[in-house]
Structure 1
Amino acid sequence: MKAPHVLSLDETLDLIINEHYSISRNGDGELNLMMGEAIDFQHKDSRLAQLMREALNAKVDKYLSCLPSIFVDYSRFNDYAQKYFDGYLRTKRYYYYSLAKAPVYGDAFMSRFYIDFKDKLKSRQQVEKLKRIWEGQDVVLLEGKDSRLGVNNDLFDNTKSMRRILGPAESAFDRYDELMFKVEEVVNKDTLILLALGPTATVMAYELAKKGFWVVDIGHIDIEYEWFLMGATSKVAVPGKYTNECNAGKLFGTLPEKALTKYNSEIIAKIL
């Protein structure tokens, strides 16, 4: 079977920055859900699985579904990541190839730029390019209630404005219809929508793109940025922020009061 054609990371970012493409991201968790399995932070759901399969191969103007760029070569990743991808593809490669039928995909690592890579010097260049997506933009960010993207760091300091809609920290698809309704109620189509809601963001980006919104699924970007700032060499928990991939705990500690005050002032809705 033929491997999916995945654009480079720079090609993916160029489409978002220069042509305002909407994107949804698919990784190992999304594939598992498409196959009817559950993952740690999203229980299985037949409607979610169907929408994810639809979004994976959808033909929508200026919309691009993304897959991890691991099918041909993953030598740029560190030893731990290489071992993981090797084991995962050994059992799941067939399912990726059989489900992914679009002519081209973006690189799902566009927002996961640091911890799994060997050459961490390139991360600075990539994060600067990522920031160009929302530079000077009015932004509405949909995120899990404990994610707190950009809080207590400068990730979104170059936006024109930032508003937040909070969803559940886990199994956000349970509130999917309410989240979609709220977006359509309060967001103008000249506003950039950023999503960090796990697998729910994958289908939400697709369905909002169909309606003419500019939507970018940036899940995990803030935790990657925090790891980048601290020079982490392994996945560690970030105080005051949900960290689903860390054994040290999903949420511990707190954030400075000043940062939380600003964060709370940006929240326009909570659907929990």
Structure 2
Amino acid sequence: MFRLPMLAKLVIVNTGYRIFKVYMRITNKTPKVINGDDTVKYIVTHKCSVARFGDGEFLWIFQERAEGDFEKNSSKLSKKLLQVLNSENDNLILCIPDVFKTLKGTKKTARVYWETFLTKRGYRVLNLLSNSKKYFDTQFTRPYIDYNYNSRNFENKFESLKKIWFNRNVLIVEGEKTRFGVASDLLDGAKSVRRIICPSKNAFERYTQILNNVRRQATLINDALVLVSLGPTATVLAFDLSEMGIQTVDIGHLDVEYNWYKMKAKEKISVPGKYVNESKVQFIEIDDGLILQKYYKQIIKVVK
């Protein structure tokens, strides 16, 4: 089978992205997206819940996520994500990628990825969004690995993010071996940390059980802040818990990004003690018993 040279592919996707931008301008459909820094400031100031839609969530809406990924495509998940995307809850902000106006500052790999994604699926994504709605940047949880080193102050970005949970009683909802904030100072400013461990794969199939357990535990915690790292289930959970008056932030890959920043990583590599689905070696256990002992003590519920 004939294959296009890589240079030709790059030219095609870049041209497709430029045509897509012209289409947005002509049709006046360019989404209004608040940048990452202002997204974080808004969360800190308003103590709002956050539902994030990245490329994966849109693929799950279209039921086109690659087979063998950690969450199955299903009509139920697709409909629920659409319900969240159409939410009018004032206590919940909706985040989408801030990639529609410009990709300035991103590394070549990230730029090519988004040019390809928007060329192929951008028109359908636009049909899901509202011209009158103000969105926030879903990439606020991914401020490091996709960006050129001279394009931003990474330290300031992570210090600003830490203000979200500063002096709060944090309830982390995560998959097995996610270990958000373990073996780093990321959560040092939190008043307390508790954890609910959920299935690492196909968590949405246990959604009712997860929702009920998180709601029950969160109501027992004073001034609770729920941080969820659980794929598209996190997006849905943030919506449902916000409807119940529980501040919930879909925090995504932030912990891995923070570790990559501390490691000065130049590509997506393994992080000892944590599951990293984007690295070649996805999990390497640590042998520090004291760190693991502290982590296990924070677990208050396991949903199987």
Contact 1:191–1:214 (CA under 8 A) maintained in structure 2: yes
Mapped partners of 2:298, 2:182: distance in 1: 11
Query: For residues 103-252 of structure 1, what are the structure 2 equivalents within 5 Å?
Result: 103-119=133-149, 122-188=153-219, 190-246=223-279, 248-252=280-284
Give how far 1:147 is off: 0.3
Return the match for 2:44 from 10, 14, 17.
Answer: 17
| Shift, 1:88, TM fit | 1.0
Which is further off, 146-155 or 254-263?
Answer: 254-263
| Moved segments of 4+, more than 6 Å | none
- Mean Cα deviation higher: 186-195 or 105-114: 186-195
CA apart distance, 1:218: 0.5
SS of equivalent to 2:33: coil
Given that 1:239 and 1:255 are in contact with CA atoms closer than 8 Å, whether structure 2 keeps it comes out as: no
* CA deviations over 1:131-173 (Å, ceiling 9, x no partner): 0000000010001111001111110011000000001112111
Out of 93, 99, 110, the residue aligned to residue 81 of structure 1 is 110
Could you say which residue in structure 2 is the equivalent of 1:266? 298
- CA offset at residue 252 of structure 1? 2.3
* Structure 1: segments with no counterpart, 5+ residues: none
Letter in 1 for 2:57: E
* Alignment deviations for residues 56-98 of structure 1 (CA, whole Å, 9 cap, x no partner): 1210022111001001101111111101111111101111100
SS in 1 for 2:274: coil
Q: CA deviation at 1:257?
A: 1.1
Equivalenced residues, count? 271
Offset, 1:255 = 4.7
Identity of aligned residues (%): 35
Question: Would you say the 8 A contact 1:68–1:107 is kept in 2?
Answer: yes
Normalising by structure 1, what TM-score? 0.96
Amino acid at match of 2:33: V
Q: Note if contact 1:152-1:256 (Cα within 8 Å) is conserved in structure 2.
A: no
Aligned residue for 2:32, secondary structure, equals: coil
Q: CA RMSD in A?
A: 1.3
- State the AA in 2 paired with 1:82: R
Question: What SS class does the counterpart of residue 105 from structure 1 fall into?
Answer: strand
* TM superposition shift of 1:190: 2.5
Q: Within 1, Cα distance between the matches of 2:287 and 2:298?
A: 16
Runs of 5+ consecutive residues of structure 2 not aligned to the other structure: 1-26
Which 10-residue stretch deviates more, 159-168 or 187-196? 187-196
Matches for 1:28-47 after TM superposition, within 5 Å: 28-39=55-66, 40-47=69-76
Per the alignment, residue 78 of structure 2 pairs with 49
**Separation in 2 of the partners of 1:242 and 1:36?**
25
Asked which structure has the greater CA Rg, the reply is: 2
Q: Determine the C-alpha separation between the residues in 1 that align with 2:284 and 2:240.
A: 34
Shift of the alpha carbon at 1:10? 1.8
CA distance in 1, matches of 2:137, 2:295: 30
